[in-house]
Structure 1
Amino acid sequence: MSVRSGRPPRSGSTGWFQPLALVLRLLVLGVGLGVITGTVLKQLAPRMAQGAMDTPRIGAGTTPVAPLQQGIPLGSFEPREELTALSARWKALAAAQKDLKVGGFLLVLDDGRFAQLNSDTPLPAASSIKTPILLVALEDLDRGKLRWGEPLPLTKEVVGGGAGWMASRPVGTRFPFYEAATEMIRVSDNSATNLVIKRVGGKLAINARFQALGLPATVLNNWLPDLEGTNTTSPHDLARSIALVDTGAKLSPRARDHFRTIMGTSRTNTLLPAGVLRGIGGDSSDPDSELLARGITVLNKTGDIGIAYADAGLIELPNGQRAVAAFMVKGPFNDPRSTDLIRAMAAALSETLIGRSPAPTPR
């Protein structure tokens, strides 16, 4: 009788092990596919979302939607259609003050509408010439000819009286370029202006640059403050110097930002901004804030030497358009009619372009 050694085969255990192994394999395969699918969808999601936004859905009862406009055109300095009624109104306002020499210019950069009154006539620039000086200096910054933080030494030659505080500092004090450029506009500092003029090459060099920019009436004959009024410009030149920046014709985007930021620091808002506010039915001791509440911004620079007044700026309108405007008046010393006339011409401008604007909602 023979005896079998070893364990008998476990046929019963084989029956349940194989299905279990198959289930485990399927689970592993499912997890793997889930991970792969999730990774792919994560990578494709931004593109799919972009495609959903860019591609209009077309189906029953739907209308194709045009793609969104990519940005607003910057416009150009190109007068096309004269606002003859506004030009005539300026002429009438000036005619009522026969002993005053008056000039004005407006251009809506987006569509070329313009108004003018003796716009190319050279008049004493006073501190309004600081705007084209700022443009020239920022061109040099763009070209790498000067640095934003470059120290500018105060010398006896550039110390100027009148507006500003830098003249009170000891000769030899060094101011960074950005501070001189800002104070030149913010408080109309004359010593800061002379520092910038000297740094960009002096009067002869800067006059050549003005001509190259298409500013034929803009001539620097004297250091600031130039109380005699020998430095000249015109309303057309002042408006053009601002438009060249805002339309992108001059300066890089970064330098253009510097220009706008510096122009926005100007403290004097009693001429162009106050006049614009008056024209839309407003009155405030703080015109800039009141205008901003109505969707209007004015970035301006004034000039005042008693015998001559000027103001020029960029006006951002409530409809998103932008305009450049400049006004200049020469008359008797400290005659209030000069400043009143600038405000009246600015008011006529805003009545034409904006009309009566609703008062801001009380807060």
Structure 2
Amino acid sequence: MHFKVKNKVGAQVPTLFLLPKRRSVQSTWCRFLKTDECGFSNPRLNTVGVDTARTRPVKVGTLFATLLLLFVMITQTTGQSLTDSLTAYLRRLPTNAQVSVAVESLADSTRSFHHQADERVPSASLIKLPILIEAMERIKAGQLDPDEIHILTDSEKTGGDGILKTYSHRSRIAYRDIIRLMMIHSDNTATNILINELGMNAINQRIRSLGLAKTQLNRVMMDTAAVRQGRENYVTAREMNQLLTKIYQHQIATPALCDQMLDILKQNENRQTIPRLLPNTVVVAHKTGILSYVRGDVGIIYAPQPFVLSVLVQGVSTAEAERIISEIALMCYNHYKG
């Protein structure tokens, strides 16, 4: 449900509520994904902001090759264990592809696979998942009021993904909407507002309290100077799975807030990675991340046997990384669908 709040000191701004099954507008999504979080051009978008990876015509030969590849993947993995099929797949990849994978059943902890799952990888926007968790813990403790209004200033706006950078100076927006924008639109301005409100040290302390030893928030979004100095945000595939599992099992904040987090993650409309090759009926609660040098996706796949999957790819083009993530997701889905 959208409606306008009259702003006495700024512009009218849309209010977004944390309601189940909200869907953001496709045109808005395409418009604001022109750059990654460090300001690099996204090669999948043309100059008018239309995702050419979704709109360009598919050649018959390309479509046939893709279908043939999927058929081979399915037939070759039939009867194989998940470990055998994924190991064989990873061995066939180009040597320059650096892939971290963690996949675990949410029903049977013995059914899992890990490959370089403890490797620290630049997080891109995946770091927004622990920021979301800290925000929910603050709401539980009564230290953050989701209905409190934040007055947006021009000095807070930053580039890359997001729509808050287009809002007028002194626009009014509730913290619950800032949280949603950070996750659904991967809004960098919203993320930086939350980092400043919650505190970087507090976010990292929360990460440690949850048992994550390698995940680290070291800079705000779009801090290119920090990147040049070697200060990056880091995650691992295994630790992202741990966070997702805790949310799924209602072990963070409150069960109601966990359900809200899951609902937000389900509204991610970026389907270039984990959901790409899965049946459209399969629900995926996930968070994506993209930089010019890393592509990642972490999520819960609601297969007949639900599972968590985190994949981070470095060393190849964005398009190649997206293909790798989507194919790994399909292989895992075929294993867990029963």
Mapped contact 2:268–2:286 kept (Cα < 8 A): yes
In 2, the alpha carbon distance for the partners of 1:158 and 1:213 equals 30
The amino acid across from 1:119 in the alignment is A
Alpha carbons of structure 1 residues 143 and 108: separation in structure 2 relative to 1, 3 Å: same
Alpha carbons of structure 1 residues 335 and 303: separation in structure 2 relative to 1, 3 Å: closer
**1:348 pairs with 307, 313, 331, which one?**
331
Match of 1:79 in 2: none
The amino acid across from 1:314 in the alignment is I
Tell me the alpha carbon deviations over residues 5-61 of structure 1, each in whole angstroms, 9 at most, x when there is no partner. xxxxxxxxxxxxxxxxxxxxxxxxxxxxxxxxxxxxxxxxxxxxxxxxxxxxxxxxx
Mapped contact 2:103–2:309 kept (Cα < 8 A): yes
Structure 1 residue runs of 5 or longer lacking an equivalent are 1-83, 283-289, 356-363
Match of 1:303 in 2: 289
Mapped contact 1:263–1:299 kept (Cα < 8 A): yes
Match of 2:267 in 1: 265
Structure 2 residue runs of 5 or longer lacking an equivalent are 1-79
- For 1:201-216, list aligned pairs within 5 A: 201=199, 203-216=200-213
Alpha carbons of structure 1 residues 335 and 309: separation in structure 2 relative to 1, 3 Å: closer
Residue 196 of structure 2 is aligned to residue 194 of structure 1? no
Match of 2:238 in 1: 236
Tell me the alpha carbon deviations over residues 132-162 of structure 1, each in whole angstroms, 9 at most, x when there is no partner. 2111111111111111212233346642211
Mapped contact 2:101–2:117 kept (Cα < 8 A): yes
In 2, the alpha carbon distance for the partners of 1:97 and 1:168 equals 41
Tell me the alpha carbon deviations over residues 75-119 of structure 1, each in whole angstroms, 9 at most, x when there is no partner. xxxxxxxxx932343333333221122101111122112111111
In 1, the alpha carbon distance for the partners of 2:253 and 2:203 equals 17
In 2, the alpha carbon distance for the partners of 1:234 and 1:171 equals 37
**1:111 pairs with 108, 112, 118, which one?**
108
Kindly state the Cα deviation for residue 217 of structure 1 after the two structures are TM-superposed.
Answer: 2.0
The amino acid across from 1:271 in the alignment is T
TM-score by length of 1: 0.65
Mapped contact 1:86–1:115 kept (Cα < 8 A): yes
RMSD across aligned C-alpha pairs, in angstroms?
A: 2.2
The amino acid across from 1:329 in the alignment is V
In 2, the alpha carbon distance for the partners of 1:104 and 1:322 equals 17
Match of 1:125 in 2: 123
| 3-state SS, counterpart of residue 349 of structure 1 | helix
TM-score by length of 2: 0.70
Mapped contact 2:266–2:286 kept (Cα < 8 A): yes
The amino acid across from 1:176 in the alignment is A
- For 1:260-299, list aligned pairs within 5 A: 260-275=262-277, 277=278, 282=279, 290=280, 292=281, 296-299=282-285
Q: Percent identity?
A: 27
In 2, the alpha carbon distance for the partners of 1:210 and 1:143 equals 17
Match of 1:315 in 2: 301
In 2, the alpha carbon distance for the partners of 1:168 and 1:120 equals 38
Tell me the alpha carbon deviations over residues 224-244 of structure 1, each in whole angstroms, 9 at most, x when there is no partner. 145648111011111111111
More helix by share: 1
Q: Which has the larger radius of gyration?
A: 1
| 3-state SS, counterpart of residue 237 of structure 1 | helix
Higher relative contact order (CA 8 A, sep 6+): 2
In 2, the alpha carbon distance for the partners of 1:120 and 1:169 equals 39
Mapped contact 1:221–1:231 kept (Cα < 8 A): yes
Mapped contact 1:124–1:330 kept (Cα < 8 A): no
Q: How many residue pairs were aligned?
A: 253
In 1, the alpha carbon distance for the partners of 2:95 and 2:155 equals 39
Match of 1:85 in 2: 81
**2:249 pairs with 247, 250, 255, which one?**
247
Tell me the alpha carbon deviations over residues 270-327 of structure 1, each in whole angstroms, 9 at most, x when there is no partner. 200114x1xxxx5xxxxxxx2x2xxx31111110112101101111123xx4221110
In 1, the alpha carbon distance for the partners of 2:209 and 2:245 equals 15
Kindly state the Cα deviation for residue 189 of structure 1 after the two structures are TM-superposed.
Answer: 0.7
